[in-house]
Structure 1
Amino acid sequence: MTTAYDDLMAFQRETSRAHRIWAQARADEDVAAFLPALSRVLDLRREEAACIAGNADPYDALLDDYEPGATGAQLSAMFGALRPRLAALRAAILDRPAAPKLSGDFPEAGQLALSRELALAFGYDLSLGRIDKAVHPFSSGSGLDVRITTRTAADDPFNCFYSTVHEVGHACYEQGIDRTHLLTPVGGGVSMGVHESQSRIYENQLGRSEAFTGWLYGRMRDTFGDIGITNPADFYACVNSVGSGFIRTEADEVQYNLHVLLRFDLERALVSGDLAVTDLEAAWNDRFMADFGFAVDKPSNGVLQDVHWSEGLFGYFPTYTLGNVYAGCLYQALRADVPTLDDDLARGDTSGATGWLRSNVQQFGSLFAPVDLITRAAGQAPSEAPLLAYLEQKFGGIYGL
């Protein structure tokens, strides 16, 4: 008779093996080499989910690991409302002239110095953390020790700057939790969706706003000299440029959620058994063509691009879009409560916004359930409507739609 410990060890062995196989399959552009390992991991997750779910939807049991209280049916309805308007906005934008592009020299030392300035501008407390360079940006730790990493790219300083701001959003959530909650069950972020709402609102609604990019434009020119863009309006368009691409992690605000919705629908179908693992690549490619209007060119740009499924992280993907939905709700309330927001951001001062987020979201840690926390802060239950209104207004203005 196997024990829970035996089952856990089996899962750890299979995901460790699957990760190595995925990495090699991705390098070789060989989907077939990965599918048997994926099938084994999926079978173990299905078995686990069935034990937990009882008569409920097994996918909900997996989702609960990352977003307590959420259900696949609820998210499917919310995401179903997002998808057509995002696809229409994407198509309209790509029918317009492309945004201006940066040019010039962007030495790593300058990128890292300005990245540190941005972290401080967004309220990151370096006395309780540090910033290092890594291949992939991340935030780790909690309470009195919260660290982040960023990365640099010689031809793309925005990669460094907005990776930093994104991770600062995660870090400030942990640093902002009321210290009386530390080392207790409520002393950390309540869910992946709420955590992502903080990183996304810091990065996008605040960091990519017209007001803040006006300030950043001046700092870019101070740091790097000629950057190939001669006015703040063009710089704002450049920061928020929309273009065709395959990779989720590199996608702009308009298209990012389309990447996530694809993964959510496919993994939900995999868990339910409605989609066979052997049909996954074809299903991915068909959906990508439907949503993005062009074909996947190779597996590393398609079904093999993400590590999540090799590690058994079914139920994780939807929290990325849920974080954007939460951020849309919070931003709507924030703008109403902080009437000086644009003037503040134009001076590089985020304290009004970050202070509001700390008071209304971050300080509570896990004291409230995710939906209850967002509802208290935003004054309404989570809905896709504020995010869609924000995206359509912002990008409609930039691209003259």
Structure 2
Amino acid sequence: MTAFPELIAFQRDTEALSQVMGRLGWDQETVMPRGAAGQRADEMGALEGVLHARRTDPRIGDWLAKAEAADAEGARMLALIARSYKRSQCVPARLAAELARTTSLAQGTWAEARARDDVQHFLPTLRQVVLLKREQAQALCEGTDAATAYDALLEDYEPETRAEDIAAMFDRMRPRLVALRAAVLGSGRIPGPLRGEFAAEGQLRLARKLAETFGYDFTRGRLDLAVHPFSSGSGSDVRITTRVVETEPFNCLYSTIHEVGHACYEQGIAPHYALTPLGQGVSMGVHESQSRIYENQLGRSGAFTGWLFEQMQAEFGDFGVDSAETFRATVNRVQPGFIRTEADEVHYNLHVMMRFDLERQLIAGTLDVGDLEEAWNARFLQDFGVVVERPSQGLLQDVHWSVGLFGYFPTYTLGNVYAGCLMQALRAAVPDLDDHLARGDLHPATDWLRENVQRHGGLMAPREVIARACGAAPTEAPLLDYLDAKFGAIYGL
């Protein structure tokens, strides 16, 4: 009779400690002094050792054998705890701690290398990370039913998904994306970029206003600056970051909207799930569905960009764009740029597909870290027709591999696919959505997403969350149809 409450109480403390570790990561990327990197790595390694010991505590097995759930929520908690327990037991404590320590150091090394455009400064550290991730993947593969080592890592970010299924979906998507890109770039209607300087203070004021407009609760969060924007935390402490380039305000504004999508998912989860296995987003694919629908289908829509144009004028005065329609085209400007986080919707998934292929090769051991930059640059030229000019435009632009996030990249495109399905359902549920967006009123959209996706947290499997919200299993068709319609209208195709 006591096994279930004892297990959940134990799990609650584990979840709380995990949140503390996440806060250490947030601190490291925002305000930690540079000289503290070595000590922080030791701290992260020590705390990961404590967490690993808790996640593999033999009492969990005893409790699971005896615990009885009273309802569907309890049953799902038990299933998630059992999954975590099994996976944690596969990974030796030494390896878990070493991964935490090494990736903490690697993050700082990556940031230094990126600032200096010096790949060689980063590659020795990346090699250590890759070797550790291969060891982790092999341990997980041997102890679970994962088909490949990469699948074993993917399971951490998108449960019940296999790389071969993602690869097949990407193969279906690529021809339509490439054809749309060719049509847009051949239209002769590509607008120019924004010109001029946009003061950092003004960008951050507008970023905070956008965060509030999209429903971010600043009483349970904060906005800071980081090299690579991210969201951190869950429940009552969910923090976001952005970055500022004074000549590129969209970088700041849309990074903020994107991270707000992540944060609102966490803030929107049913409060009584806090510090339980249900108290966080169910997968990174579903998480990305929220950030991408906030950023793109809502934030870059014609209706909303009309409102944003007025906000930009109020903040920056005449900034060289003559109309709301021109502003919409500028926001949705299609160009084969280098940076994934700044990529337009037509090119974005091609960036992800490239990284997916490269990291699968790294984990499989068919691509050596020493050959990665050459492979990256060759693939980028093949896919985008552009020569990478410096490492910060190429291999060094993303933080993910430095912190060991192998298996994460495909969830960005899964998130886009899920967002396409959700937007189709949202428009059916809220027929006058554009009228609200044109007034800067996001409540009908964000309320619908909170009710149909966010509040459930980890209660359902990822695809089930999307299927229930949309009334059908998710496919890539709604996303591709949306992209064709949107960019066809903008570029007169």
TM-score under structure 1 length normalisation: 0.92
Distance 1:246 1:105 in 2: 21
Q: Spell out the pairing of 1:76-225 with structure 2 (5 A cutoff).
A: 76-95=167-186, 96-103=188-195, 106-225=198-317
State whether structure 2 residue 154 is matched by structure 1 residue 66.
no
| Cα distance change of structure 1 residues 28 and 107 upon mapping to structure 2, 3 Å threshold | closer
Specify which of 29, 34, 43 is matched with residue 131 of structure 2. Answer: 43
Aligned to 1:297: 389
Distance 2:386 2:200 in 1: 34
- Report the number of matched residues: 399
Q: Which has the higher contact order (CA 8 A, sep 6+)?
A: 1
1:362: Cα distance to partner? 0.3
| Cα distance change of structure 1 residues 161 and 32 upon mapping to structure 2, 3 Å threshold | closer
Are the equivalent residues in 2 in contact too, given 1:104–1:226 (CA < 8 A)?
A: no
Give, as a single letter, the amino acid of the residue that structure 2 aligns with 1:192.
M
SS at match of 2:238: strand
Give, as a single letter, the amino acid of the residue that structure 1 aligns with 2:388.
V
Aligned to 1:4: 92
1:100: Cα distance to partner? 4.1
Distance 2:123 2:321 in 1: 47
1:50: Cα distance to partner? 1.7
Distance 2:487 2:234 in 1: 35
Q: Spell out the pairing of 1:188-337 with structure 2 (5 A cutoff).
A: 188-337=280-429
Are the equivalent residues in 1 in contact too, given 2:270–2:457 (CA < 8 A)?
A: yes
Range that drifts further, 171-180 or 267-276: 267-276
Structure with bigger gyration radius: 2
CA RMSD of aligned residues (A): 2.2
Q: Deviations over 1:14-54 (max 9, x none)?
A: 43454455455545655455444433332322222122223
Give, as a single letter, the amino acid of the residue that structure 1 aligns with 2:175.
P
Range that drifts further, 280-289 or 367-376: 280-289
Give, as a single letter, the amino acid of the residue that structure 2 aligns with 1:156.
E
Instruction: Name the % identity.
Output: 63
| Cα distance change of structure 1 residues 311 and 115 upon mapping to structure 2, 3 Å threshold | closer
| Cα distance change of structure 1 residues 11 and 375 upon mapping to structure 2, 3 Å threshold | same
Unaligned runs of 5+ residues in structure 1 are none
Distance 1:225 1:22 in 2: 38
Give, as a single letter, the amino acid of the residue that structure 2 aligns with 1:6.
R
Distance 2:228 2:212 in 1: 21
Q: Deviations over 1:323-359 (max 9, x none)?
A: 1111111111111111011111111111111111001
Q: Deviations over 1:202-241 (max 9, x none)?
A: 1110011000111111222223221211211111001111
SS at match of 1:241: coil
Aligned to 1:390: 482
Are the equivalent residues in 2 in contact too, given 1:67–1:193 (CA < 8 A)?
A: yes
| Cα distance change of structure 1 residues 24 and 146 upon mapping to structure 2, 3 Å threshold | closer
TM-score under structure 2 length normalisation: 0.76
Aligned to 2:43: none
Distance 1:273 1:201 in 2: 35
Aligned to 1:75: 166
| Cα distance change of structure 1 residues 48 and 149 upon mapping to structure 2, 3 Å threshold | closer
